């Protein structure tokens, strides 16, 4: 249930509603807005009677929320959520450019690429320190050393960093070093990990699972939010398909669909979504056109020597051109 409060309701009235929710054995989720205030309720197994709250001071009305993803659902914040990471904002009216190598391979490689992408328009630097790979014989990342290299780049260039956590141990380290935690497609339904991410209170990018429905994806976001973290950014990265021409089927229809179902920001990863570098630019522009709040692309200046996914990485000059084109398109679309 969602309880709408009067815009001029007092702090005392709002606290009284929250206390009443706690008294009933449920959990209250205050949702402040620019010109409104609402309080969400979770933890109930069945419907809650409106008469429990309508007599309370400052209450306007009660709205039933029947979707399985109550906190992530559009009704909980009709105007949309904005997630701020330093000077970068994810959400409506903003388009965030995330770029960097698939894997952190060395200090020299990372700083070289980081300086290039920052110069050519990247708002956030990406790079994998922990790499969950399909084959156990593939490069698995530098771990803590990789995180330290990423942090060095962040401090030198004054740019936020995002990197993936794959388990409890890596999550603790990523939360310490990175500005944004990434949960990859393979861990989208790792519910114990999602709960722990919820306790970090740190911005998180949640990638869509390999064959996940939109409801399953949003329900995974609910696990994070239900444990106290509302700084969730969704990422469409392609789903499994019968066609082997592309690595995955990049589902751009998911962007406007998610914006109908949820208030959370959504970005697109055209690198993993297609696995073909010649498709990254058009799919990036398509992402902007359908309303995405940003893109995440892989960039490597020596892709043939890359330890992972070099075939889908843009060269720095290609990224520079893409950034310029996306900026022009963004301005024309206002």
* pLDDT number for residue 309: 83
- 282 Cβ contact list (under 8 Å, min separation 6): none
One-character DSSP codes across 139-162: ----THHHHHHHHHHHHHHT--EE
Topology classification of domain 83-333: TIM Barrel (3.20.20)
Mean pLDDT value of segment 19-40: 83
Could you report the per-residue pLDDT of 194-243, keeping only the tens digit for each?
Answer: 999 999 989 999 999 999 999 999 999 999 998 889 999 999 999 999 99
Asked if 152 contacts 111 with a C-beta cutoff of 8 angstroms, the reply is: yes
Residue found by looking up tokens 């024309």 in the block? 332
Residue 39 burial (CB count, 10 A): 22
pLDDT for residue 1 is more than 90: no
CATH 3.30.465.10 fits 2-66, yes or no: no
The CATH 3.20.20.70 domain(s) of the chain lie at: 83-333
Q: Where are the alpha helices (DSSP H) in 210-269?
A: 214-226, 254-261
Asked if 97 contacts 326 with a C-beta cutoff of 8 angstroms, the reply is: yes
The CATH 3.30.70.1140 domain(s) of the chain lie at: 2-66
**Residue 69 or residue 276, greater confidence:** 276
Rounded to two decimals, the pTM is: 0.88
Mean pLDDT value of segment 258-279: 97
Beta strands in 104-195 (DSSP E): 124-126, 161-164, 180-183
One-character DSSP codes across 193-208: HHHHHHTTTS-EEEEP
Asked if 226 contacts 43 with a C-beta cutoff of 8 angstroms, the reply is: no
Could you report the per-residue pLDDT of 300-323, keeping only the tens digit for each?
Answer: 999 998 888 889 999 999 999 999
Buried b or exposed e, range 9-30, using 16+ CB within 10 angstroms: beeebbebbbebbeeeebbbbe
pLDDT for residue 266 is more than 90: yes
CA–CA dist 4, 313 (Å, integer):
47
Could you report the per-residue pLDDT of 99-151, keeping only the tens digit for each?
Answer: 999 999 999 999 999 999 999 999 999 999 997 766 775 777 789 999 999 99
């Amino acid at each position: 249930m969602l309880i709408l409060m009067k815009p001029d309701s007092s702090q005392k009235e709002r606290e009284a509603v929250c206390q009443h929710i706690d008294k009933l054995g449920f959990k209250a989720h205050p949702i402040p807005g620019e010109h409104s205030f609402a309080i969400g309720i979770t933890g109930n197994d069945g419907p809650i009677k409106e008469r429990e709250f309508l007599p309370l001071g400052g209450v306007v009305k009660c709205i039933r929320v029947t979707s399985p993803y109550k906190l992530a659902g559009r009704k909980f914040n009709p105007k949309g959520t904005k997630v701020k990471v330093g000077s970068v904002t994810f959400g409506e009216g903003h388009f965030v450019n995330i770029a960097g190598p698939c894997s952190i391979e060395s200090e020299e490689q990372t700083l070289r690429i980081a300086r290039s992408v920052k110069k050519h328009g990247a708002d956030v630097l990406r790079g994998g320190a922990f790499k969950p790979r399909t084959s156990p014989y593939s490069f698995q990342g530098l771990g803590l050393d990789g995180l330290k290299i990423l942090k060095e780049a962040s401090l030198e260039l004054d740019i936020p960093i995002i990197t993936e956590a794959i388990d409890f141990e890596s999550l603790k380290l990523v939360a310490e070093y990175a500005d944004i935690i990434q949960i990859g497609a393979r861990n989208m339904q790792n519910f114990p990990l999602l709960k722990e991410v919820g306790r970090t209170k740190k911005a998180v990018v949640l990638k869509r699972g390999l064959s996940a429905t939109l409801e399953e994806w949003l329900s995974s976001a609910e696990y994070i939010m239900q444990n106290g973290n509302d700084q969730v950014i969704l990422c469409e990265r392609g789903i499994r398909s019968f066609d082997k021409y592309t690595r995955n089927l990049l589902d751009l229809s998911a962007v406007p669909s998610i914006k109908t179902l949820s208030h959370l920001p959504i970005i697109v990863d055209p690198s993993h979504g297609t696995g073909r570098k010649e498709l990254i630019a058009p799919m990036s522009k398509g992402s902007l056109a359908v309303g995405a709040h940003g893109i995440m692309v892989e960039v490597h200046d020596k892709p043939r020597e890359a330890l992972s996914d070099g075939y889908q990485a843009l060269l720095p000059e290609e990224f520079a051109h893409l950034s310029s084109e996306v900026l022009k398109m963004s301005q024309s679309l206002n």
